[in-house]
């Protein structure tokens, strides 16, 4: 059975804060301790629900973001209805669903095994986006997903999104070092929106670094 960690003060927070400021709302899949949740929160979003399999990470996430709901369960066993019912989302229109599915089967540092069972979790991200129907989605993964046979998975995901009413921006690899982070860290990003909305642009590089 899934465990959720709702905070009793959430309703009060929503009444006193969100309804006054009309902040956009989001869901974090494969949430971990909440790195992406923090980024979206700092960008002005209320991340009303997060899904994380590991109970320790889920507990840390709930501690870091006590006003929202953390669902401790595999994304593969979680439905859009459960996310809506167990959080403050209800029947509201979601602004964005974001997440970084496990990357071990795609990473250039690993075995790059296409049969790695964790690779299929990318399609659970796809499933939940299509079921939750947010205005936008953001998928994050490793650069290796764009190379070799692993790119087939990425192209299939893009095709499925486009077949189900989403327009998708061409995937782009961004380096954290170009955004003020002292780390050479490349990550793939895929963004999309419901057809009829305007696709956002990927951010321009803000800093540079010397590659050896």
For the residues of 121-175, what is the DSSP string, one character each? HHHHHHHHHHHH--SEEEEEEEGGGGSGGGHHHHHHHHHHHHHTTEEEPPPEEEE
Is 103 tagged catalytic? yes
- In the block, tokens 């010397």 appear at 210
CB 158 within 8 A of CB 189: no
Total residue count of the chain as it appears in this document: 212
Catalytic-labelled residue, pool 31, 72, 75, 103? 103
Name the nearest CA neighbour of 73 among 3, 139, 133. Answer: 3
Residues with a known catalytic role: 103
């Amino acid at each position: 059975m899934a465990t959720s960690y709702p905070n009793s003060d959430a309703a009060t927070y929503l009444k006193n804060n969100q309804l006054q400021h009309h902040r956009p709302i989001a869901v974090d899949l494969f949430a971990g301790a909440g790195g992406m949740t923090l980024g979206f929160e700092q960008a002005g979003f209320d991340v009303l629900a997060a899904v994380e399999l590991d109970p320790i990470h889920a507990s840390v996430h709930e501690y870091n973001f006590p006003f929202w709901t953390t669902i401790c369960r595999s994304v593969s066993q979680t439905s859009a209805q459960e996310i809506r019912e167990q959080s403050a989302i209800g029947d509201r229109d979601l602004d964005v669903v974001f997440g970084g599915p496990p990357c071990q089967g795609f990473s250039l540092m690993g075995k790059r095994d296409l049969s790695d069972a964790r690779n299929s979790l990318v399609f659970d991200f796809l499933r939940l986006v299509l079921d939750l129907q947010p205005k936008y989605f953001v998928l994050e993964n490793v650069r290796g997903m764009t190379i070799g046979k692993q790119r087939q998975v990425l192209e299939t995901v893009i095709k499925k999104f486009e077949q189900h009413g989403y327009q998708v921006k061409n995937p782009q690899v961004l380096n954290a070092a170009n955004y003020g982070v002292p780390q050479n860290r490349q990550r793939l990003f895929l963004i999309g929106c419901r057809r009829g909305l305007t696709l956002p642009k990927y951010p321009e590089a803000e800093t540079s670094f010397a590659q050896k």
